Amino acid sequence: MNKLDGGLYQNQTTEKENQIGEEREAILACQAGNKKAYRYIVEKYKTRAYYAALMYTKNREDALDLSQEAFYRAFKAIQRFDAKRNFYTWFYKILKNICLNFIQFKKVRANSSDEFDETTMRPVDSSISRPDEIFEKNEQSEYIWKAIDSLNENDREIIILKEFDDMSYQEIADTLSIPIGSVMSRLFYARKKLLKKLEQIYE
Partner 1 sequence: MSKNNPACEEARVLMMGLMDNELDENQKKKVLEHLASCEECAKQYKAFNNLKKETSEMKFTKLPEMYWDDYWDHVYNKLERGIAWIILSLGAILIFSYGAYEMTYEFFFDETISIFLRISIGIFSFGIIVLTVSVLREKLMIRHIDKYRSIKR
Write out the residues near partner 1 by the rule CB under 8 A. Answer: 35, 38-39, 42-43, 46-47, 50-51, 54, 60, 64, 68-69, 71-72, 75-76, 98, 101-102, 104-105, 108, 132-136, 138, 140-141, 144-145, 159, 162-164, 168-169, 181, 184-185, 187-188, 191, 194-195, 198
Question: From its phi and psi, is residue 96 left (phi > 0), alpha (psi between -120 and 50) or beta?
Answer: alpha
CB-CB contact of 164 with 171 (8 Å): no
Measured from the CB atom, the residue of 118 and 136 that comes closer to partner 1 is: 136
CB-CB contact of 115 with 72 (8 Å): no
The least CB distance from residue 93 to partner 1, in Å, is: 14
State how far the Cα of 96 lies from the Cα of 142, in Å rounded to an integer: 24
CB-CB contact of 20 with 28 (8 Å): no
The least CB distance from residue 120 to partner 1, in Å, is: 25
The least CB distance from residue 166 to partner 1, in Å, is: 9
Measured from the CB atom, the residue of 7 and 181 that comes closer to partner 1 is: 181
- Residue length of the chain: 203
State how far the Cα of 52 lies from the Cα of 56, in Å rounded to an integer: 7
Measured from the CB atom, the residue of 37 and 83 that comes closer to partner 1 is: 37
